[in-house]
Amino acid sequence: MQAFGIDIGGSGIKGAPVDVTTGEMLGDRKKIPTPRPSTPDAVADVVRELATSFEWKGLTGITFPGVVTGGTVRTAANVDKSWIGTDAAGLFSKAIGGDVAVLNDADAAGIAEMMFGAGKGERGTVLMLTFGTGVGSALFTGGMLVPNTEFGHIEIRGKDAESRASERGKGEHNWGWKDWAQRVDEYMQHVEAMMSPDLIIVGGGISKEAEKWVPLLTSVRARIVPATMQNDAGIIGAALAAAGMATSHTTTAGAEASGAAAAAVAAQK
């Protein structure tokens, strides 16, 4: 079974078809810079371009960097504020000519990692954190998703945590790995104090260089592991949400993660 996944980020929008039974992308992904300003119509044009470039007509899942409930955007921290209140599911459905599932970007990445990646088989509390333009979060307990957590916006030292802990923050301040990791470590201490996860999965583009900074995170008790799918997890999770993934898998946690994906797409209806 195949579905198309599109991952909308603050700096780029990328997509590819996915085999939802294996979690593998069917060919190289295509990435287009996020338009400036990143208004709904401008982003919808890029979504249409991605789908057209793959001649895609089937199931489509799309992530969004903010809270999404019932297919409608509720927050927009790293894209144009005109997104707030927009029926994203309806907008994208019109753009590509078919039904779509729309969900939070970190939730999609977490679903992919729970089904096929670093979280597969995990039964405790699992937290996925994505580091990019902002900091995204996805929380799972017993394999089930708690949607739209947005822990990147907790306040640390009077500012949004993502202003210090994001990959963008690292670049803007020209922090080296050690300086940036200290800020990520402080952020994780705050997050751990709230929910005491058993496992923290770190993703986003910077997870490709996990060996340079993950060993520097020493202040939390939870296990910390890099995302298996790295920056492709959002695409794969979006495709899984589109497919609903109401099939059984070899582990209970995998089956429950499938339920999370099904719940994510059901929430858009």
For the chain, the domains span 2-105+232-266, 109-229
Three-class secondary structure of residue 155 per DSSP: strand
- Each residue's pLDDT tens digit, 137-191: 999 999 999 999 999 999 999 888 889 999 999 999 999 999 999 999 999 999 9
- Each residue's pLDDT tens digit, 81-111: 999 999 999 999 999 998 899 999 999 999 9
Structure tokens at 15: 């997509």
N residues, the chain: 269
Cα–Cα distance, 112 to 118 (Å, whole number): 9
- Each residue's pLDDT tens digit, 207-238: 999 999 999 999 999 999 999 998 899 999 99
Do 109-229 and 2-105+232-266 fall under one CATH topology? yes
Pick the CATH number of 2-105+232-266 from 3.40.50.300, 2.40.50.1020, 3.30.420.40, 3.40.190.10: 3.30.420.40
Structure tokens at 135: 């900091």
- One DSSP character per residue, 42-93 reads HHHHHHHHHHHHTT--S-EEEEESS-EETTEE---SSS-GGGTT-BHHHHHH
What's this model's pTM, rounded to 2 decimal places? 0.88
Cα–Cα distance, 177 to 198 (Å, whole number): 25
Are 232 and 238 a contacting pair, CB within 8 Å?
no
Beta bridge partners of 52: none
Q: Taking the domain 109-229, which CATH number applies? A: 3.30.420.40
Cβ-based neighbour number of residue 175 at 10 Å: 15
